[in-house]
Structure formats: C-alpha cells, structure tokens
Structure 1
C-alpha cells in the first residue's frame, strides 16, 4: 500500500450529464463541451440505454449500424473540441455484448 505524505489538490472539474431519450450521444457531448468551454475532457463512465447504435470496430474503416434497443455496458474515453476517442460497449436484449 502506498501512502502520501500530504494531500494532492486538483483543479479538475467534474460534471454529470443526462441525455433525454432520442438525443444523439456524440453531438450532445460536443455541445456540452462547447457550452462549458472544455478543451479536453475524460469520460469516466455511462449508464443507460440507446436506440440504434453506430459502432466502428477496431481495424475497420466502415461503421456498423445496429437497430434496436441496447443497454450501455461501458462508455469511456477522451473528448476534445477537435474530436473524440471513445470506446462503447452495449448489450442487446439477449445479453450479447457488442462494441
């Protein structure tokens, strides 16, 4: 176990963001970052469900479109005004993991 001789402080700001049904995730994240003048952000997690999902699997150039309702298992990564690097994992109604 590591102990620190003195507490570290941080200037990090933390936000909780709730999207309404039907709102598109990436556009809402970018709008939130612009509204709060966030030049770089780290997305630590996400809970919820999505309807219709677009995934780009590793090593693939094209996007795979999934229709239906999906439970978000994990969403994390970085978001900058110039772009994002996000990882999404969802499950379908049968429990199959995709992402």
Structure 2
C-alpha cells in the first residue's frame, strides 16, 4: 500500500464560550463575521441548554423544548450566508433527542467550543 504525502492542514481552530442567555446562532454568526471566517465547522461542543429548537428528520415543523438539556453533540457548518447544524441533547432522565438545530436557542450555563 502506498500512502501519498499529505500536506499539513491550514485549518485554524478557535475556542468560543457562550454565556448564559446568549442565543447560539446569532453569537456564532457574529463570531465568524468578526473573525472574517468565510466557512467554518464545529469540531466539538460541551455544555447545556435551557431551550432547544429542533426539526426532526422528515418533519417540516420545529419542535421547541424548555428545560435542562445536556449537549451530547453539536456539529455542522457555518458561513456568512447561513449554517447547517445538528444537535443531540439529553434531558435529566437521560432521554436523547436530536435533529436539525434551529435558531433561537439560548445557552444555559456556559457553552464551549
């Protein structure tokens, strides 16, 4: 097997922390615009949310949730014209929910990337 010579990545990594009450989408949009980032992806995220807005697979409607949710996974892409994010969360009983993350999701305790 031949392994081609790989070029080092030119990717830049940023750590971002959202404070309680920050709306996730508007904060992410502001960050990439402030940093002049044309395209980005979320490599990892930890924290919790007090609200979640998810569009489940095959559904047209958004489901809005209020409570305490632990972020299990948040990934996707961001650019100035929009974003495509997927969110997996668990409730205090450990029940999991996931889907396409929709706007208007404030963070509860700090949310970190």
TM over 0.5: yes
Stretches of structure 1 lacking an aligned partner (at least 5 in a row): none
Give the match's secondary structure for 1:34: helix
Stretches of structure 2 lacking an aligned partner (at least 5 in a row): 99-113
CA distance in 1, matches of 2:2, 2:94: 41
User: What is the match of residue 34 of structure 1?
Assistant: 33
How do 1:1-99 residues align onto structure 2 when only pairs under 5 Å count?
8-99=7-98
CA distance in 1, matches of 2:31, 2:5: 34
Q: Which has the higher contact order (CA 8 A, sep 6+)?
A: 2
- TM-score normalized by the length of structure 1: 0.90
CA distance in 2, matches of 1:5, 1:12: 20
CA distance in 2, matches of 1:98, 1:91: 6
How many residue pairs were aligned? 98
Which runs of structure 1 show a deviation greater than 3 angstroms over 4 or more consecutive aligned residues?
A: 2-7
